[in-house]
Amino acid sequence: MSKQIRGVLPVILMPYADTGELDEEDFLSQADHIFDSGCDGLVVGQMSELLRLTHAERLRVAELCAKSVQGRGISVMSTGAETAEAAVEYSRHAEAAGVDALLVMHPATLPLDDDGMVEYYSRIVESVTIPIIVHHAKSLAKIPLSIDAQARLLRQYGEDRVMFKPEAQPTPPRVSQLRDATDGRARIFEGDGGMMLLDCHRRGLAGTIPATETAEIVGTLWRLLESGDRENAERIGYPLSYLMCHMMNSTDYYLSIAKRFLKERGIVKNTLVRGPSRHVLDEESWSEVDRLYTHLLTLSKELSR
């Protein structure tokens, strides 16, 4: 492994032109913002509307993911699919495009048991040479991915090949369970937008995967926690949790807010979310989250000095 996969790795929010096509310029703009904020890398993940992209778009986005880093950090591409065959194809293409690691979600329509999950992930690990992050998406798993299944994957392939993003509620104790089941070897990434980062960090994390709009906020929080400054970390962590409570009501609700944040800051040109979503953000909700977001940006700037 040529790069260490760790730290703050925000997810790119898929930008679209007015025509509805991918906006590659705004993709690269988000990458610049992420690295200018001091983050360690970027991710194309489920919050990137991955499942709403065409096959050709997914291939192109993997290429953009690798291209956008330009030697500044880590690139991680999501390559999960409904079959191992499709996931292997996406994974091999992403590796060939030059990404540093893969974020792999399990099938969302098939109720795989532990043996089925281990077989699915094993086929993907063995098809590439770069690390994979096993992504357990709590809202999409028909059968939860057990701690035992995750530990089996780590024992079989090692901590440099298999890492984990265990989005399964309650998240903090799941982090501890995975840590303990692997004798502390598991490299775990928090994936709730920083909502539970204050608690999860002390249980042992390799990093956190927020999204572009909170890159500098979560980046500051992570650095405070890494330095042991719990007092100032709480000043950011608690209001950030409240913001995430607003945003995480659904994927489309999150995107409607996050993309408006990015547009207001000039990082992207519009707030388009690909259908069939028709969610419209009401102004009362916007006024509350915008006030809180502005406070967090100001605070993160203050605490980064």
pLDDT score, position 305: 81
Closest CA to 222 of 4, 6, 48: 6
pLDDT at 82: 94
SS3 271: coil
DSSP 22: B
CA–CA dist 147, 60 (Å, integer)? 34
Residue 104 parent element (H or E)? strand 101-105
Distance CA(300)–CA(218), nearest Å, equals: 8
Q: Is the peptide bond before 10 cis (omega within 30 degrees of 0)?
A: no
User: With contact defined as beta carbons under 8 Å apart, do 208 and 9 qualify?
Assistant: yes
Compute the distance between CA of residue 31 and CA of residue 300 in angstroms, rounded to an integer: 19
The DSSP 8-state label assigned to residue 214 in this structure reads G
Per-residue pLDDT in tens (0 to 9) along the chain, 305 residues = 468 999 999 999 999 999 999 999 999 999 999 999 999 999 999 999 999 999 999 999 999 999 999 999 999 999 999 999 999 999 999 999 999 999 999 998 888 899 999 999 999 999 999 999 999 876 676 777 899 999 999 999 999 999 999 887 788 999 999 999 999 999 999 988 999 999 999 999 999 999 999 999 999 999 999 999 999 999 999 999 999 999 998 889 999 999 999 999 999 999 999 988 778 899 999 999 999 999 999 999 999 98
Report the CATH number of the 7-303 domain.
3.20.20.70
Element (H, E) at 89: helix 84-97
pLDDT score, position 2: 65
Which residues are within 8 A (CB) of 173 and not within 5 positions of it... i.e. 6 or more apart? none
279 phi, psi to nearest 5 deg: -65, 135
Q: What is the pLDDT of residue 277?
A: 77
